């Protein structure tokens, strides 16, 4: 079944240099406009969203706010500090999440067959290429807490998820050639177990906070639902 899913299409292209490759494992780099701080052996909180999940006016406003947060590090040409990364995370969780949870855009992930596809893709290499601590598929975005296993990078894992699901959903929806996911992904380096526990709770509570269910386990497309256990068993068998 693994070969049939076509995950070879999700393998990230080789970086331009050894220095570029090392920063994907441990270091600081920019992909698009957001800064990305990587540390080998640590877990990450990750959010990726549909291409139309934020209204244009909201995007422009948020970009202006974001530039204020990241300008200091860029101007100084120095590594991104923990305090600055924390400030960016607070900005993201408080500002961007408000727009996402409002359900902007077509919300393709609200369709059960598409949410199922994304959930299965997230779980497919769990325990092999990475370990999933938490995940939830919302109507227009996805949250994941993930630990890349040795030899794997967060960038390649993310690219595999987005590439495969975009290809499959485009065929399902008859939207071949059109963007499904927003190109930029937000990731946050998790420093310790306390922060990881807090972010796992944040992911589980997101559907409740957005008014989609009364309790986290009632949301079908998250790791704390009873359905998720069956999904994991299915992945183990295949």
Any idea what the CATH number is for the domain that residue 175 is in?
3.30.70.1290
Q: How many domains does the chain have?
A: 1
**pLDDT reading at 228 higher than 60:** yes
Q: How far is Cα 26 from Cα 155, in angstroms, rounded to an integer? A: 12
Name the residue range of residue 68's domain: 3-237
pLDDT tens by residue, 39-89: 667 899 999 999 887 766 666 666 666 666 667 666 766 666 666 666 666
Cβ atoms 186, 154 nearer than 8 A: no
Regarding pTM above 0.85, the answer is: no
pLDDT tens by residue, 2-21: 333 433 333 333 334 444 44
79: Cα within 13 Å, side-chain hemisphere: 9
At residue 90's C-alpha, the angle toward residues 189 and 59, to 5°, is 105
What is the length of the chain? 238
């Amino acid at each position: 079944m693994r070969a049939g899913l076509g995950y070879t299409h999700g393998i990230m292209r080789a970086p331009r240099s050894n220095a570029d490759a090392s920063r994907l494992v441990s270091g600081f780099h920019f992909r698009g406009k957001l800064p990305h701080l990587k540390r080998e052996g640590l877990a990450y909180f990750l959010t990726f969203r549909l291409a139309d999940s934020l209204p244009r006016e909201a995007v422009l406003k948020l970009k202006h706010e974001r530039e204020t947060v990241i300008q200091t590090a860029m101007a100084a040409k120095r590594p991104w500090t923990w305090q600055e990364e924390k400030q960016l995370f607070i900005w993201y969780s408080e500002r961007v999440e408000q727009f996402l949870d409002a359900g902007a855009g077509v919300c393709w992930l609200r369709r059960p067959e598409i949410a199922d596809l994304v959930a299965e893709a997230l779980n497919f290499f769990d325990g092999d290429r990475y370990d999933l601590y938490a995940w939830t598929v919302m109507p227009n975005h996805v949250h994941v807490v993930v630990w890349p296993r040795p030899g794997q990078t967060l960038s390649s894992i993310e690219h595999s998820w987005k590439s495969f699901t975009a290809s499959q959903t485009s065929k399902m929806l008859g939207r071949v050639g059109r963007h499904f996911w927003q190109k930029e992904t937000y990731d946050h380096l998790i420093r310790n177990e306390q922060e990881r526990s807090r972010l796992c709770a944040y992911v589980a509570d997101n559907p409740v906070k957005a008014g989609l269910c009364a309790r986290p386990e009632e949301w079908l497309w998250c790791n704390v639902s009873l359905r998720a256990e069956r999904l994991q068993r299915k992945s183990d068998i295949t």
